[in-house]
Amino acid sequence: MDDENALKYWRDAGHVARRTLEAMKEKIVPGATFHEIIEAAERFIHRHGGKPAFPGTIAVNDMAAHFTTDHNISPVQEWDGDMTLSKGDCVKIDYGVHIKGHIGDNALTIEVGNSNNHTDQIKAAKEARDAAVEMMHPGTPWYKVGAAAAQPSLDAGFQPIRNLCGHQLKPWELHAGVSVPSYACGPDNRGFKGVVEEGSVYAIEPFNTTGKSGMIKNLGDSNSSNIYRLTGITTSRKARAKGQLKPLGAQLARNLEERYSTLPFAERWAFPMLEKPFPESDEASRQSKWNALIKKLISIRFLETYHVLSCADGGNICQFEHTVFVTDGGPEILTVE
Kindly state whether residues 10 and 32 are assigned to the same domain. yes
Each residue's pLDDT, cut to its tens digit, for the chain (337 residues) gives 557 789 999 999 999 999 999 999 999 999 999 999 999 999 999 999 999 999 999 999 999 999 999 999 999 999 999 999 999 999 999 999 999 999 999 999 999 998 899 999 999 999 999 999 999 999 999 999 999 999 999 999 999 999 999 999 999 999 998 999 999 999 999 999 999 999 999 999 999 999 999 999 999 999 999 999 999 999 999 999 999 999 989 999 999 999 999 999 999 999 999 988 888 899 999 999 999 999 999 999 999 999 999 999 999 999 999 999 999 999 999 999 7
Which pLDDT value is given to residue 1? 57
Kindly state whether residues 85 and 175 are assigned to the same domain. yes
Kindly state whether residues 53 and 78 are assigned to the same domain. yes
Q: What residues form DSSP beta bridges with 304?
A: 229
Query: What residue numbers bound the domain in which 237 lies?
Result: 227-305
End-to-end Cα, the chain, rounded Å: 22
Kindly state whether residues 189 and 261 are assigned to the same domain. no
Instruction: Judge if pTM exceeds 0.85.
Output: yes
Kindly state whether residues 169 and 243 are assigned to the same domain. no
Q: How many distinct structural domains can be found in the chain?
A: 2
Q: Give dist(CA 188, CA 59) in Å, integer.
A: 33
Which pLDDT value is given to residue 146? 98
- In the sheet with 265-266, reading across from the earlier edge strand, the strands are 265-266, 227-230, 303-305
Which pLDDT value is given to residue 4? 78
